[in-house]
Amino acid sequence: MTLLGGTAAAWPLTARAQQPAKLPIIGFLGLSTRSAQREITDAFVQRLRELRWTEGRTVAIEYRWAEGRTEGFAAITAEFVRLKVAVIVTQGTSIVLAAKQVTSDIPIVFASAGDPLGNGLVANLARPGGNVTGLSSQSSDSVGKRFELLRTVIPNLRRLALLGNVDSSFAVLEMGEVQSAARMLGLDVITIKIRRGEDIAPAFAALKERADALYIATDLLTFTQRNRIHTFALAARLPTTASFREFVEAGALMSYGLNLPSQYRRAAEYVDKILRGAKAGDLPVEQPTKFDLIVNLTTAKALGLEVPPTLLAIADEVIE
């Protein structure tokens, strides 16, 4: 009886000892959909694996997709708080701001955000403080480079249409940089101000045939409305330039901007440090290091434009 009693008493202790330790949880907040962001999630998970964080074995990842709806950011962050995630990973100034309003405790790593200091995401780039850090998407050379590349295809560029969401602080910042660069090049700029998707059609109707090309200032609105924008741009026979390859996939002539998969690989390195005990506020905000030039040859042909072989030779990707 004593032997059996002692054995029985040991069972709960043995069962408890055999229970696996609870895995740290990463909350991944995507601004679009799983299929649209598969390339960046694959890059993020691959880098985690290289850093010895294997999904399902040493770390858990909870994916949530905003599907372009800004009203969902806070709700998803609140769900992450209830799940007690160890860190939140996302991109985009508006998403980070929304997440920051929900939690000041859970570390937030942004893979890309415009002007983190100016937009109030961090207090200092070298030592952010608080619970937010990550990778900036701001680069003072990008706007000028886009003009340089665009003029290789449209050497007689004189009038530029500039489309941007004037309710987005990052878009407004980029629009200011575009206007300054255009003045230096002697270009006339026609500014198309939008605040919602419903503004796009009347904006293009008002533009008519007053521009030689279109520059899109990137923010969540123009990103999620990119297919609609390029439907109107192609109908108006306007060659378009933007920051991200997704715009080119939707029909833009070209894009020049940071490589998002590379940004998410680097975001995984932030996550690794935080899971190993580092504080987000102690990790400096870093600048992008890899930029891509994407050219849509199909769009060029549809618009009757000749893309110089020299431009195609330096492009990271050509869509045909």
Give the per-residue pLDDT at 138.
Answer: 65
The structure tokens listed for 170 are 């990052």
Indicate the burial class of 297 (C-beta count within 10 angstroms; 0-12, 13-18, 19 or more). Answer: middle
What's the confidence (pLDDT) of residue 11?
40
Query: Residue 234: which of 260, 204, 263 has the closest Cα?
Result: 204
Confidence class for position 69, pLDDT limits 50, 70, 90: confident
Percent of residues, the chain, with pLDDT higher than 90: 74
CATH topology of domain 19-137+260-289: Rossmann fold (3.40.50)
Q: Per-residue pLDDT averaged across 60-87, rounded?
A: 92
Residue 139's pLDDT is what?
A: 57
Identical fold for domains 19-137+260-289 and 142-258+292-319, yes or no, is yes
Q: Whole-number mean pLDDT of the chain? A: 90
pLDDT tens, residue by residue, 79-93: 999 999 999 999 988
The length of the chain in residues reads 320
What whole-number distance in Å separates Cα of residue 7 and Cα of residue 64? 46
Beta bridge partners of 26: 61, 87
Predicted confidence (pLDDT) at residue 292 exceeds the cutoff of 60: yes
Measured distance CA(70)–CA(73) in Å, rounded: 6
Query: For residue 303, what pLDDT is reported?
Result: 96
For the chain, domain boundaries: 19-137+260-289, 142-258+292-319
Parallel, antiparallel or unpaired: strands 254-258 and 291-296: antiparallel
| pLDDT at position 19 over 70 | no
Q: Give the model confidence (pLDDT) of 227-267 as tens digits.
A: 999 999 999 999 999 998 899 999 999 999 999 999 999 99
pLDDT band at 12 (very low <50, low <70, confident <90, very high): very low
What are the pLDDT digits (tens) for 129-188? 999 999 998 655 689 899 999 999 999 999 999 999 999 877 888 899 999 999 999 999
Residue 272 has pLDDT above 70, yes or no: yes
CA–CA–CA angle 130, 135, 140 (5° rounding):
120
Mean pLDDT (whole number) for 12-27: 65
Residue written as tokens 């937010």?
A: 132
At position 183, the amino acid (one-letter code) is R
DSSP character string of 115-156: -TTTTTS-S-SSS--TTEEEEE---TTHHHHHHHHHHHH-TT
> Homologous superfamily of 142-258+292-319 in CATH?
Response regulator (3.40.50.2300)
Tokens of 167: 């309710």
Taking 80 as the threshold, does the pLDDT of residue 212 lie above it? yes
